[in-house]
């Protein structure tokens, strides 16, 4: 992805991310939980959260995180930085939910 970013060739990755996000938001709704909306943001995850919170004052966050993320403690970082409750949905390489943990 890094090389794609250098040449601004991120359209395919952004489309795939949007499809995953739509599926996740749909799954949350099907489970009976109100999911207002989802949004694909900056490719730097912490910046994406900051950008989203600048325009939408959330009182809690749901983060979908791939199981093979380099930063395994991303939810803890987000929780500490933004002081919000975080629910983490851990996804496998195909985007299926492996586990859900909440604060």
Each residue of 28-69: pLDDT tens digit? Answer: 777 777 766 788 888 888 999 999 999 988 999 988 888 775
Average pLDDT, the chain: 81
Instruction: Look up residue 59 and give its two tokens.
Output: 């009182």
Report the half-sphere exposure of 12 (CA within 13 A, side-chain side): 3
pLDDT reading at 2 higher than 60 = no
Q: Where are the domains of the chain?
A: 2-102
pLDDT reading at 1 higher than 50 = no
Within 10 A of 52 (CB to CB), how many other CB atoms are there?
17
Instruction: Look up residue 36 and give its two tokens.
Output: 């207002």
Phi and psi at 61, nearest 5°, equal: -125, 145
Report the half-sphere exposure of 81 (CA within 13 A, side-chain side): 13
């Amino acid at each position: 992805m890094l090389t794609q970013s250098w040449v601004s060739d991120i359209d395919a990755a952004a489309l795939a991310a949007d499809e995953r996000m739509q599926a996740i938001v749909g799954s949350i709704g099907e489970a009976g939980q109100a999911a207002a909306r989802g949004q694909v943001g900056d490719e730097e995850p912490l910046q994406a959260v900051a950008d989203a919170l600048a325009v939408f004052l959330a009182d809690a966050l749901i983060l979908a995180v791939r199981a093979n993320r380099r930063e395994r403690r991303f939810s803890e970082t987000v929780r500490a930085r933004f002081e919000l409750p975080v629910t983490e949905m851990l996804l496998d390489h195909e985007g299926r939910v492996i586990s859900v943990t909440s604060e």
